[in-house]
Amino acid sequence: MSSFVCADEIRQAFSDALSRMYKREVPQYGQLLQLVADVNAAVLREMPDLRSQLAFSHESSRIDAERHGAIRLGTPRELALVARMFAILGMQPVGYYDLSSAGVPVHATAFRPVTDESLAFNPFRVFTSLLRLDLIADSALRAEATNILERRQIFSARSVELLELFEVQQGLTASQAADFVQALIETFRWHEQAMVDADTYERLLAAHRLVADVVSFKGPHINHLTPRTLDIEAAQQEMIRRGLGAKALIEGPPTRRCPILLRQTSFTALKEKITFAGIAPYGQAEGAHTARFGEIEQRGVALTPAGRDLYDACLSQARGGDTKTPFPTRLMEAFEAFPDDIDALRTQGLAFFRYAPSSPMPDLGGLNFDLERLVALGIVRAEPVTYEDFLPVSAAGIFQSNLGGDANVVFAPSDARAYFEQALGRTVLNEMDLYRDAERTSIERTRKAFESVAA
């Protein structure tokens, strides 16, 4: 029997194919990739210590390949199928994000690789939102949207056939994997032809722009892909200089010497021609839709629960401050309470770190394993664990800035996580557990290396 292709390789083939497709569909995305590559090269020339850190933590190879995508689904059935499809790519659902409190009628998870080895091979992830139809206030429109979504099939017969084959034989051969990637890509392609007529589209748009984006088309087109930059301020300025229409503010924490969590920016969504179903008034069946854009991310260190509590407190202070003061200024002032020193983040338990011998361990003469002392002596090196996930407030900010027109919408809070996980067919993984396990595993490996020398 032919050997099966590993999930990491299928994921890499999928992310590469998706990037090629998106560059063809959204030429500005190709410009964005070149812009980010230029910025990253300049940063690495100017900061040799950062180059060394990235090499030590096995991050160097991830910088150019690293990107995430985002899709929006309409029904629990679609979410369940997507989860099974992404399992073939070695991607599991991590985290639960309720964006409704920020005026976006979706909840979401991030499908991504979860082991250190898989993340090092290819860290591609997909932020996957599920439309909250229950938040459409107009009951007749809600029923109409439900009926439209229930009729559509977002996956081809071939992709479902290969999915079922994978689940029976627990793997795919090289030719089957190639076929699967090609079939899966079709699901996320842009479709100019809408499934609804112009009148229905306008009523969906009036409910919320995201509702129109999800319900009006026959598939969940990729709405953005995201390269990773080492300097998001420089990337933002380059977007402006190159005429890519950058959004006004960078989402996430303020500028820091030691980046934390995630910062994001984007060029504004494109206005694209669509053709409506049916016959529109006066014979005009064409319109325009705004949904797809290009995003840039800068990833920092993953914060511990204590670090996240402090982050949330600083963010809350900034958001609740004097509105006469510009928000970026309030944000910088609020985050003065958050240590901006890598050693302080570690020793105060605010961030997760990986530990490894900085070189072959010397004969330590019976010294007991004391992690802090070994770090102080330079025998063990501590490197920040990269944050692999997302921030609800930032995600909502990106959505709103690109959808437009719905910034003041407020939905009543509700506990929909159980409903989401029921549709998913499993509970989402807790990202804190994954970071904690990565830190503990690295400590245990370092301990064993120490003990092998001591023996």
Both structure tokens of 426: 């499993």
Give the pairing of strands 224-227 and 293-299: parallel
419 Cβ partners below 8 Å, 6+ apart?
76
pLDDT tens for 329-386 read 999 999 999 999 999 999 999 999 999 988 777 766 667 788 998 899 888 999 999 9
Q: What is the pTM of this model?
A: 0.89
Q: Which 8-state DSSP code applies to residue 196?
A: S
Q: At CA 391, angle to CA 214 and CA 18, rounded to 5?
A: 50
Using DSSP's 3-state secondary structure scheme, residue 413 falls into coil
So what's the architecture of 7-254+267-300+402-424 in CATH?
A: Roll (3.10)
CB 208 within 8 A of CB 129: no
Q: At CA 234, angle to CA 51 and CA 40, rounded to 5?
A: 30
Both structure tokens of 279: 């016959």
Say how far apart CA 121 and CA 9 lie, in whole Å: 8
Using DSSP's 3-state secondary structure scheme, residue 372 falls into helix
**Crossing angle between the packed helical segments 76-88 and 157-169, to the nearest 10 degrees:** 60
Would you state the pLDDT for residue 268? 75
pLDDT tens for 25-81 read 888 888 888 899 999 889 888 877 776 666 666 666 667 666 899 999 999 999 999
Q: What DSSP string runs through 89-136?
A: TT-EEEEEEE-GGGT--EEEEEEE--SHHHHHH---EEEEEEE-GGG-
Would you state the pLDDT for residue 1? 47
Report CA torsion sign: 377, 381, 382, 383: positive
Distances (CA, A) of 361 to 352, 381, 387: 23, 11, 29
**Crossing angle between the packed helical segments 198-207 and 139-151, to the nearest 10 degrees:** 120
Would you state the pLDDT for residue 343? 94
Report CA torsion sign: 397, 128, 294, 405: negative
β-pair partners for 382: 355
| CA torsion angle 53 228 63 253 (round to 10) | 10
Indicate the burial class of 263 (C-beta count within 10 angstroms; 0-12, 13-18, 19 or more): buried
Q: Which of 415, 305, 301 is nearest to 349 (CA)?
A: 305
Give the pairing of strands 380-384 and 262-267: unpaired
Using DSSP's 3-state secondary structure scheme, residue 61 falls into helix
Q: What DSSP string runs through 80-96?
A: HHHHHHHHHTT-EEEEE
| CA torsion angle 151 156 161 167 (round to 10) | -80
Would you state the pLDDT for residue 174? 96
Residue spans per domain, the chain: 7-254+267-300+402-424
Would you state the pLDDT for residue 240? 87
Would you state the pLDDT for residue 175? 96
Q: What separation, in Å, do the N-terminal and C-terminal C-alpha atoms of the chain show?
A: 45
CB 403 within 8 A of CB 103: no
**Crossing angle between the packed helical segments 27-46 and 232-241, to the nearest 10 degrees:** 130
Say how far apart CA 414 and CA 395 lie, in whole Å: 19
Say how far apart CA 165 and CA 173 lie, in whole Å: 11
Q: What stretch of H or E contains 308?
A: helix 305-319
Per-run averaged pLDDT (10 residues), the chain, 455 residues: 87 94 88 89 82 65 76 95 97 93 87 93 94 91 94 95 96 96 95 89 90 92 90 90 82 92 84 78 68 86 96 90 85 94 95 89 72 89 93 60 51 74 94 97 91 70
Say how far apart CA 336 and CA 313 lie, in whole Å: 12
